[in-house]
Structure 1
Amino acid sequence: MPTYEFRCRTCDDTFELQRPMSESSAPASCPDGHSDTVKLLSMAGISGTQQQPQGGGGCCGGGCCGS
């Protein structure tokens, strides 16, 4: 199940909740009970550089299929 990070606007605390993707936009209360929260953008799996494949091309990089 995905983990979503939230920030409470009242106490400025951040917290995480695990919930199904179908509930990703549902409101969340902070552990202290405040309801004024915002879901934070997760940067997991995002990198600043994109690696390019090595080799010639084709289905396997040009090694075995004759590309």
Structure 2
Amino acid sequence: MPRYEYRCRSCGDTFEVSRPMAQSSDPASCPAGHDDTVKLLSAVAVGGTQGSSGPAAPSGGGGCCGGGCCS
């Protein structure tokens, strides 16, 4: 089930709520009971393998600054 991050405008607390995607736009109350919250935009990494720092840099040239096109 997806988790959504919210911030309470009243107390400044940041918290997460697990709910179905169909309820992603529903309002959420903070743990202290305040209703003035805003859903935060989260950056999600997709793909790759665990422990990977991203795609490997190409080797053996190619591209303008790594290959033979710049003299």
Instruction: Tell me the TM-score normalized by structure 2.
Output: 0.63
Query: How far did residue 40 of structure 1 move?
Result: 0.2
Write out the 4+ residue segments of structure 1 that deviate beyond 4 Å after TM superposition.
none
Percent identity among equivalent residues?
Answer: 65
Query: How far did residue 37 of structure 1 move?
Result: 0.1
Instruction: Tell me the TM-score normalized by structure 1.
Output: 0.67
Partner of 1:25: 25
Q: Which whole-Å deviations, capped at 9, do the CAs of 1:11-49 have from their partners, x for residues lacking one?
A: 001000000000000000000000000000010117xxx
Say what the alpha-carbon RMSD is for the aligned residues: 2.0
Question: Which amino acid in the other structure matches residue 36 of structure 2?
Answer: D
Please show how residues 37-52 of structure 1 align to structure 2 within 5 Å.
Answer: 37-45=37-45
Partner of 2:3: 3
> 2:19, 2:38 → 1: CA distance?
15
> 2:7, 2:25 → 1: CA distance?
14
Any idea what SS the aligned residue of 1:42 has? Answer: coil
